[in-house]
Homo-oligomer: A and B are copies of this chain.
Amino acid sequence: MAVHGPAMTDVARLAGVSHQTVSRVLNGHPNVREQTRLRVRAAIAELGYRPNGAARALVTGRSQVIGVVAQNTTLYGPASLLAALEQTAAEEGFAVSVGSVRNLDHRSISAAVERHLSHRVAGIVVIAPVESAGEALERLPKDVPLVTVDGDPNRPVPLVTVDQVAGARAATQHLLDAGHRTVWHVSGPTDWFDSVGRIDGWRQALLAAGLDPPPPMPGDWSAASGYRCGQMLARMPEVTAVFTANDHLALGVLRALHEFGRRVPDEISVVGFDDVPEAAYFIPPLTTVRPDFDAVARASLQMLLSQIESGTGGALRQTVAPALVARQSVAPPRH
């Protein structure tokens, strides 16, 4: 099969120029006479010519493809990030190749990166929210443009991240401002930097208010684990405010509280994180923290492109501030 399309020489022949001139037109080289340029463009259109990315990648050593390594792209956060990344990349003329991995351990990440490298991607974005990913990244070839998203703040790797700490602090402060004596926390898995950052922010807000943080309850991002934590929280009469590390945990908590007859927000206030599209339709509508995935995607792509263009691998860092979205799951405590 594969009736191969026309090549550059075909266009050149039709336009009555050399293939190099066609190449120059395609790459926007300045020294081409306007008239020639038009003739070439016409020939391209007439033949339906499409440049062969493989040939270009071969000769330049780079393709117009960006590799993304991510785990579990079904979760709302990663999925949104991936979609935003793809949109932004497309605008810059880059395609996005996904290499999702089951586990974020050294081996899996390296394997995914290897796959990308063998396709000679122009750069790699690693959505690497867990500790174990870090070491894999340091062993990578130094000459590959690389950006990590939501990765380890303590490694010398270019990093774009949602300001988890600020977001969590805002959520906690919002609950304190409503008059709550303290705030409990259902966290994400503690090997995710996202979780660590959110725990930090929550703790900071409490400490700043002179309060002693209660022990955080560890979840795993799922509604199921939120439900389990919620069952415990529901039985603790002193609990009046809960901040969960994401909206799905909050959903589980809400359901447990509902089952135990504890009314939200009358008896207990709840704040989530992520602002999934459904959050506004939870019972009750969930107050939450909205990270700006588009901004993260833009920032990381920009960082990656500047590495690709300049050839330098600076270890920049960029943080995107999230915003609190107030809905009806928060109220002052009863007295």
Contact = CB atoms under 8 A, between A and B. Distances in A.
A228 to B, nearest CB: 11
A65 B54 CA distance: 11
A80 B227 CA distance: 23
A52 B63 contact: no
A262 to B, nearest CB: 13
Interface in A152-192: none
Contacts of A298: none
A125 to B, nearest CB: 13
A332 interface: no
Contact of A73 (B82, B119, B313): B82
A73, A99, A248 — which one has the most chain B CB atoms within 10 A of its CB? A73
Nearest to A93: B115
Interface string A61-97: 1111100000011101001101100110010000111
A55 interface: yes
Contact of A119 (B1, B65, B117, B281): B65
A1, A79, A90, A282 — which one has the most chain B CB atoms within 10 A of its CB? A1
Contact of A280 (B52, B73, B223): B223
A2 B58 contact: no
A65 B281 contact: no
Nearest to A81: B74
A221 to B, nearest CB: 10
A53 interface: yes
A57 interface: yes
A8 to B, nearest CB: 13
A258 interface: yes
B74 A63 contact: no
Contacts of A72: 83
Nearest to A73: B83
A50 interface: yes
A3 interface: yes
Contacts of A285: 255
A55 B58 contact: yes
Contacts of A55: 54, 58
Contacts of A54: 53-55, 57-58, 63, 119-120
9 contacts: A53-B54, A54-B120, A72-B83, A73-B83, A87-B102, A95-B98, A95-B99, A96-B98, A251-B281
